[in-house]
Amino acid sequence: MRRWNVAITGFGRVGKAVAALLLSRRARYQALYEADVRLTAICGSRAGSINDDGLGEGRLAENELTPGLSGITVLASAPVDVLIEAGPTDFRTGGPGYGYIKAALAAGRHAIAISKGALVFDGRGLRALAERNEVSLKISGATAAALPTIDLLEYNLAGCEVLRVEGILNATSNHLLTAMAEQGLDFAEALRRAQRAGIAEADPSFDTGGWDTACKLLILANFGLGADLALDDLSVGGIQNVTRAQMEEWRAAGLVPKLVGHLARSGDGLHAGVELRTYPASDAFALVQGKNKAIRVTTDAMGEILAVGCGPEPMATAAAALKDLEHILMRRR
């Protein structure tokens, strides 16, 4: 039985869900992959916990964390084979996740990114570092999580040329557009209600301005389709200026609006962007309602593939990251 030590950086909603799910699946990893998976380190921005033999449920509570135990030293002080990065997303600087992922890959450890910042900021550099050190850098949690996107491109469509991708990749925006369409709300009221329900952030601009969609699309293009796009290469629009009058016009015309990340291959490369698109009610995208997400991929040889989904958060995102862990265990068995 091979021992696998896992560290989690970023111990908020998602990091905690990853820890709980990982501990509950230890017997599964033993049975399927002959892998003795232990959680050896966790940290937030101000506190953390390390145990070389593995942390149990009891040590994961907030008040059990050691103050001051955070940062890259945590990775250096614990036995770690796989890092799961679940800290904040900062696509302008890479955020703390950039340092964690870089340090892990440089030390020959596998990394599973849930935060998107580092992958947007320097995906190419991180990929090269992983290749040089012959370790995996997995990204399902950062690319719409439970919705299969990167796996679809990398595994399921292997050998095909991807001609076009369209994605409803941001749950908050889709929820807001659905609420505006179904309840006749204006944007501000739909947003207020979503914030009260904990669906939208206090500052929703990353989601409603199209930036979350743009980040996911860029990561998919660069990791899944061999592109080398920067955020500046994408034209990015959002939904914050959609009015009730527009919604009414679209409804009367039988159209349904969606915030869509899109990319297409043309003679001079891949072109990508984020914009509001309208679809006839019979189109599969028109039926993707509420917090659901979807991706539609058009290929040369396998035709058009559509995936739609939404799981309960943060569990679904945690499960996506642990799917990546299983793929690493499977490959290295």
Ligand X SMILES: NC(=O)c1ccc[n+]([C@@H]2O[C@H](COP(=O)([O-])OP(=O)(O)OC[C@H]3O[C@@H](n4cnc5c(N)ncnc54)[C@H](OP(=O)(O)O)[C@@H]3O)[C@@H](O)[C@H]2O)c1
Residues at the site binding ligand X, with contacts judged by CB under 6 A: 9-15, 43-46, 70, 86-89, 96, 114-116, 141, 145, 313-314, 317
Q: How far is the CB of 47 from ligand X (least distance, A)?
A: 7
Using CA atoms of 263, 265, 270, 271 in order, give the dihedral in degrees to the nearest 10. Answer: -50
To the question of whether residue 116 is assigned a binding role by annotation, the answer is yes
User: 245: which 2 tokens?
Assistant: 């009058």
To the question of whether residue 14 is assigned a binding role by annotation, the answer is yes
Q: How far is the CB of 185 from ligand X (least distance, A)?
A: 23
Catalytic residue among 16, 138, 216, 291: 216
Q: Smaller CB distance to ligand X: residue 209 or 257?
A: 209
Query: What residues pair up with 7 in beta bridges, in sequence order?
Result: 41, 83
Using CA atoms of 93, 222, 75, 321 in order, give the dihedral in degrees to the nearest 10. Answer: 120
Q: Smaller CB distance to ligand X: residue 45 or 299?
A: 45
Rounded Cα distance between 42 and 10, Å, is: 8
- Whole-number Cα distances in Å, 203 to 15, 45, 94, 192, 207: 21, 21, 19, 11, 9
Cis previous bond, 67, omega within 30: no
Give the residue at shortest CB distance from ligand X. Answer: 12
Q: Smaller CB distance to ligand X: residue 88 or 254?
A: 88
Instruction: Determine whether 216 is an active site residue.
Output: yes
Q: How far is the CB of 210 from ligand X (least distance, A)?
A: 15
Q: How far is the CB of 33 from ligand X (least distance, A)?
A: 25
Asked whether the beta carbons of 194 and 172 are under 8 A apart, the reply is yes
Q: Smaller CB distance to ligand X: residue 10 or 204?
A: 10
Going by the annotation, the residues of the binding site are: 10-15, 116, 201
Going by the annotation, the residues of the binding site for NADP(+) are: 10-15
- Active-site residue list: 216
